[in-house]
């Protein structure tokens, strides 16, 4: 892993902290090391970009030290300018027995027609993905409807591209 940022600050000097609730405010600015740049939080198959804050509490020699880590998300607001130029593109879809893939016995699939739309193919992490599903017709009763969001990650290298 390549470490892009590491800061260490002391928020309370050595001494005694009274029992009970003690709030110690702190502030850290995220700035990259040297010529590196900071990227948004990303969890992928081949690439993982994460930001973690860790608190270490040193205690006396009779008690064990306490350490806790917490991941936080970083989202870059700069791409908003690009988004203004790109219109929100609505995607319509239609699902029928003829459009299904990997079906062994097509004759056993009841006749149906499902249409819908995804409101925009540009989706911010901080906003929901929206759209609609319309059951136009179906020969049999429907017990449930599930929507599945699948992310495909493509990683390029000298040998070609890998998709997972």
Angle (CA) 67-61-70 rounded to 5° is 5
Q: Name the phi and psi angles at 73, rounded to 5.
A: -90, 140
**Tens-level pLDDT at each residue, the chain (164 residues):** 677 677 788 888 878 888 889 888 888 888 877 787 788 888 887 778 888 899 888 888 788 889 999 998 888 766 555 555 566 789 999 999 989 888 888 888 899 999 999 998 877 767 888 999 999 999 999 999 998 888 777 776 666 666 65
| Predicted TM-score (pTM) above 0.75 | no
Give the model's pLDDT for residue 83: 52
- pLDDT value, residue 75: 80
Query: Which runs of E-coded beta strand occur in 13-150?
Result: 42-43, 48-49, 51-57, 66-72, 91-95, 112-118, 131-138
The Cα–Cα gap between 39 and 35 comes to 13
Q: Which residues lie closer than 8 Å to 151 by C-beta, 6 or more apart?
A: none
Identify the DSSP state of 18. Answer: P
Q: How many helices (H) and strands (E) does the chain have?
A: 1, 9
Q: Give the pLDDT score at 157.
A: 66
- What is the pLDDT at residue 161? 62
145-148's contacts with Cβ under 8 Å and 24+ in sequence apart are none
């Amino acid at each position: 892993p390549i470490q892009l940022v590491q800061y260490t600050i002391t928020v309370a000097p050595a001494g005694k902290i009274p029992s009970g609730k003690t709030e110690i405010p702190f502030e850290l600015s995220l700035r990259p090391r040297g010529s590196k740049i900071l990227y948004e939080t990303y969890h992928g198959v081949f690439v993982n970009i994460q930001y973690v804050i860790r608190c270490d509490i040193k205690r006396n020699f009779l008690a064990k030290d306490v350490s806790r880590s917490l991941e936080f998300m970083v989202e870059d607001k700069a791409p908003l300018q690009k988004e203004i130029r790109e219109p929100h593109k609505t995607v319509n879809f239609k699902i029928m027995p003829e459009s299904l893939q990997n079906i062994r016995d097509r004759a056993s699939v009841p006749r149906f027609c499902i249409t819908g739309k995804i409101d925009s193919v540009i989706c911010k992490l901080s906003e929901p993905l929206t759209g609609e599903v319309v059951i136009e017709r179906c020969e049999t009763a429907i017990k449930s409807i599930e929507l599945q969001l699948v992310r495909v990650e493509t990683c390029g290298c000298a040998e070609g591209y890998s998709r997972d």
